[in-house]
A and B are shown apart, each in its own frame.
Chain A
Amino acid sequence: MRRGLATGLLAGLVLGLLVVGTPASAYHTRFQWGCNDTYFNHDPVTRANARDYAFVAAAEGYQWAGGCWNGNNVDDSPGDPVEDPNTLGEGGDCSGFTFKSWWERAETGDPWFRYHAWMQNVHGPYAAADFKYGTGAPNTTVAKANTVYMDAFASTYHIGMIYWANTAYNQDRIIEAKCEACGTGTWPRTYRGNPDYSGARRLYWAG
């Protein structure tokens, strides 16, 4: 009896772990299932409008190739494996967050403005390197010394926008979707003096 019970217990345990464990190891929050496709074209906005918009994403999550967040100041899908868009987590990545915060349009030849709802799941057509080199009608390059708030510092692998320039220790507070473990936020950075980074600018702000 005892041997039979032990054998059955072991087999059941293995089955239970396999049945629940297989989907569990691929467990995701499926945050993007609640996102939408709400956007509309808009007249040019100011840098201040754009910074207000970006600020909502601070303290939200980061999702590689993602694009939607809910503004509750919580990373609702922490710890997803990186470089996998299928994890469907909350937040944008660095270039997608910049695209939305700069009110850009998906059509790369169209330089004008578009409002993207926070929960609109859109990344946009640009990678960090595209911003670095001023690719696309709305984008251009600018000397780092001449940048102002809501310009950006872009490398071939990352981009962050200037939230507030010149701290007491002469850093820039940057608003950026940084990494899965970091999320999205406003952090003091030294990108301005780092040769990997160039100045990037969205054109046609209203002020």
Chain B
Amino acid sequence: MKKRWRWPLAGFVLGAVVGATVLTVNVVGARSPEPVAVRAGFGEILHTPVLLARAREPVELSYDLVCGAPKDALGSHCTPSGSVFVRPVGSSTFSKLRLEREPDGLLTAVVPAGQAAKGFDYYVVMDNGRGQTASLPEAGAEAPQHVWPLEEWTTVDIGAASFGQARSPTSVLRGLSWGRGDRAIGLDSGREQSRVGPSAFDVAPDGSVVLLDQVNRRLVLLRPGSGPAHVPVQFSGGEGDLAVDAAGRIHVLDSATRPLVRTFTTDGSPIAAVPLAEATADMIRIGPSGPLVHAYPSEMWLPTGPGRPPFGPERQLGSAEPARRADGGFGVVVRASPAAVKLALVRGERVVSAWLLHSASSFGEVQLAEPYGDGMLVVVRLWNEKHAEFRVLRLGPKRLIQRFDVTPAEWAESASLSRFRLQGSTLYQLRSDPSGIEIARFEIGGTK
């Protein structure tokens, strides 16, 4: 080899090795997720908590079980059994009620009226018939479900749906088109795919709107009088939720395979991240002592704590509560069905105010239920097979004070209960259409 080629050749070999190594390490590293086992072979207990029941009547508790499958082969359906443990208010001990199988396959137990009179705590322990047991809520007696007895309530007939007669917004904050640019927001869609837009938004104490643009892995900050600001954030899942606390910290529920709560400073710097104790979650809200996450299958509110480090999964389960803690010492309780919506403000085991909503139309989901003045502000969907609308209800202690309808404007999907936020006396709505999104504002009036 000629001497003049020696150094270039050495450099060539060294460069090739370095380039190949860097790429290989990065690609393999990026594509090797840490295995996270989120379910053992037990399966999952299914139950919708009763939460609110008429006083002096027996209360039926109903359960089902989805069986985990041990291997990729045809297996028999498991044969679950179990018992509910019930502790009436005023009692210190739980008593056992065996679950009975109903003709429809559900497992039920009936709490006698005497035990339910002042309300009761309960949890279930189920065996899947394969020698595996589990409880729901997972912490059992340490953090059980609760049923509040309704001695008296205000019945409100909210009327039938009136599709197409929605109120116009008081103002529209800003529009963003679909895309990745500075004045755009991400849309995950395509042929034969769901249309997922920004999952959630919230309103910061200074009036800024913070959007979770999870498709582009960033937060979008809309500040009055300035253009959109973007902050890249770590986000693993496809959807999530977001809440801003009184200090301006941004708490993001990342619905990854195992959900996480990530906390960021006002400018988007990461503060903390903590895994959630349960496998599914849909809402994050700010309580008096930090973020609260509504999780499944328990439907309990899991606190992640006011400071650093956040509460780990065990502490979340041990301090979970069936009511969402809100300002003023109230707990907010919601139990809705297609035929009726029950709402209550509670203090501990006592019901302060309760409402029972009826309509000639089918109820959909309760999008928002917040204490408002001496009552509540509620947003609930009304629907039939072809149409839908949101009805906004301002409830006083004994009557319906105000109502108006809002068009759904849900061309793109957001997190299921993150389309509305209330700040002061202003209701905010995240709206989407084929061109992009906007934030609509509705002035409610009255005193928050």
* A positions within 8 Å CB-CB of B: 1-2, 4-17, 19-21, 24, 27, 29, 42, 46, 48-49, 51-53, 55-56, 58-59, 64-65, 70-76, 78-79, 82-83, 93-95, 115, 117-119, 127-128, 143-145, 157-158, 163-164, 166-171, 173, 178-183, 185-190, 192-195, 198, 207
Contacts and interface: CB of A to CB of B under 8 A. Distances in A.
B166 to A, nearest CB: 14
B388 interface: yes
Contacts of A181: 188, 214-215, 237-238
A179 B105 contact: no
Contacts of B382: 193
B417 A20 contact: no
A11 B381 CA distance: 63
Given A8-B11, A194-B410, A20 B20 contact: yes
Contacts of A79: 30-31
Contact of A167 (B20, B299, B386): B299
Interface stretch (B37-45, B221-229, B422-430): B37-45
Interface in B1-57: 4-21, 23-24, 27, 30-31, 33, 35-39, 43-44, 46, 48-49, 51
Interface in B379-409: 381-383, 385-388, 408
A151 to B, nearest CB: 14
A190 B416 contact: yes
Contacts of B173: none
B192 to A, nearest CB: 6
Given A16-B18, A188-B282, A21 B23 contact: yes
B66 to A, nearest CB: 5
A17 B19 contact: yes
A4 B365 contact: no
Contacts of A166: 48, 337-338
B10 A73 contact: no
A20 B25 CA distance: 11
A12 B417 contact: no
Nearest to B5: A4
A179 B17 contact: no
The 6 A-B pairs at the shortest CB distance, nearest first, are namely A16-B19, A12-B15, A8-B11, A182-B238, A193-B364, A8-B8
A144 B338 CA distance: 11
A92 B21 CA distance: 34
B193 interface: yes
B20 A19 contact: yes
A114 to B, nearest CB: 11
B77 interface: yes
A8 B387 contact: no
Nearest to A96: B192
Given A12-B19, A20-B19, 14 more contacts: A5-B7, A8-B12, A12-B13, A12-B14, A12-B17, A20-B20, A70-B72, A73-B36, A145-B362, A158-B193, A170-B336, A182-B196, A190-B417, A195-B386
B11 A169 contact: no
B190 interface: yes
B190 A82 contact: yes
B299 A9 contact: no
Contacts of B6: 4
Contacts of B71: 71
Contacts of A169: 334, 336, 365-366, 417
A11 B12 contact: yes
Given A5-B11, A27-B31, A71 B72 contact: yes
Nearest to A170: B336
Contacts of A183: 238, 257
A1 B33 contact: no
B33 A75 contact: yes
A189 B51 CA distance: 21
A21 B20 CA distance: 8
A74 B196 CA distance: 22
B194 A158 contact: yes
Size category of the B interface is 35 or more
A185 B278 CA distance: 13
A185 B280 contact: yes
A170 B369 CA distance: 13
Could you say which of B51, B72, B383, B385 has the most chain A C-beta atoms within 10 Å of its C-beta? Answer: B72
A186 B383 CA distance: 23
A178 B192 CA distance: 11
B335 A168 contact: yes
Contacts of A164: 46, 48, 64
A13 to B, nearest CB: 4
B145 to A, nearest CB: 11
18 contacts: A5-B11, A7-B8, A11-B11, A12-B11, A14-B19, A17-B20, A21-B19, A27-B27, A64-B190, A75-B257, A94-B194, A143-B385, A157-B193, A168-B334, A178-B196, A181-B214, A185-B257, A188-B416
A107 B422 CA distance: 52
Contacts of A93: 192-193
A140 B133 CA distance: 38
B334 A194 contact: no
Contact of A16 (B17, B69, B237, B255): B17
A49 B74 CA distance: 10
A168 B74 contact: no
Nearest to A56: B69
B195 interface: yes
Contacts of A158: 192-195
Nearest to B163: A195
Contact of B33 (A4, A11, A78): A78
Contacts of B253: none
Could you say which of B12, B33, B77 has the most chain A C-beta atoms within 10 Å of its C-beta? Answer: B12
A12 B16 contact: yes
A169 B364 CA distance: 9
Contacts of B36: 73-74
